[in-house]
Amino acid sequence: MKLAVRILGSDAAPPVVFLGSLGSTIDMWGPQVEVLDGELRVLLMDHRGHGATDTPPGPYTIADLGGDVLETLDDLGIERVHLVGLSLGAMTAMWLAAEHPERVAGTMLLSTSAFIPDAGWEDRAATVRQRGMDAIATMVVSRWLTPRWSEAHPDARDRLAAMVASIDPEGYANCCGAIASMDLRPQLAGIDVPCVVVVGRDDPNTPPEHSEVIAAGIPAASLELIDGAHFCNWDNAAVVNDIIRRHVRA
């Protein structure tokens, strides 16, 4: 299926696809868009069941999410892109780099994991199906940001909580299932595109040891440990933006 997409920047600039986390819309890339819009061709995509993209019947897999990206790029007539993904978006980017390297110029994997077993995905899916996204929005955002940054930026914290609350519960639940069934570890060694793995020191969702596994498994990967939590693109936006610039221009 084709994804809802917003395209910014010049057609002459390198195309960079931004793929967001579980429970997000393209608005999660605000700190990047406001800086990089004039430098790159930015393609912001909502996953299936998120934001402005439709919610097809489940279950979903990471391969389904990757296939959606390919179909969307085909529809746009774009052959090869850089991928910037965070959490679920980075899982999708890993699958694309492993399965369709001819479409990927490079990957930047933020705050992610190749395998997250026993993380309560079924319980979380059941919660949102029964009680709606409001039941988890505050909890989710509390794990995205460091307490210090969150307290210093209450308006941003509240915007992110409203974003989570806006997600289709069925789309969210089906993407929980995609993560629960995912194991990308066997595919890491086959990723042969430039890759930088970035993780915040205080990420409680996908802590640094998850990124260390990815960086060790991908032959051409480098690892950057930075200050921040799961949404390091918010609480350490300047550093993340600089890494994106360096990676795309390399």
What element of type H or E holds 16?
strand 15-19
The pLDDT, as a whole number, for residue 117 is 83
The pLDDT, as a whole number, for residue 120 is 92
Residue 193: burial class (beta carbons within 10 Å; 0-12, 13-18, 19+): buried
How confident is the model over 73-96, as pLDDT tens digits? 999 999 999 999 999 999 999 999
d(CA 189, CA 155): 42
Domain ranges of the chain: 5-249
Q: Where are the alpha helices (DSSP H) in 37-185?
A: 62-76, 88-99, 121-131, 137-144, 147-152, 154-165, 169-180
**Average pLDDT rounded to a whole number, residues 164-188:** 98
d(CA 223, CA 152): 28
**Average pLDDT rounded to a whole number, residues 224-235:** 98
Which residues have CB under 8 Å from 71's CB, separation 6+? 1, 2, 3
The architecture CATH gives domain 5-249 = 3-Layer(aba) Sandwich (3.40)
d(CA 185, CA 40): 31
**Average pLDDT rounded to a whole number, residues 182-188:** 98
Give the chain's mean pLDDT: 97
How confident is the model over 36-72, as pLDDT tens digits? 998 999 999 999 999 999 999 999 999 999 999 999 9
How confident is the model over 108-161, as pLDDT tens digits? 999 999 999 877 999 999 999 999 999 999 999 999 999 999 999 999 999 999
Among 76, 88, 90, which residue's Cα sits nearest to residue 43? 76
Reported pTM: 0.97
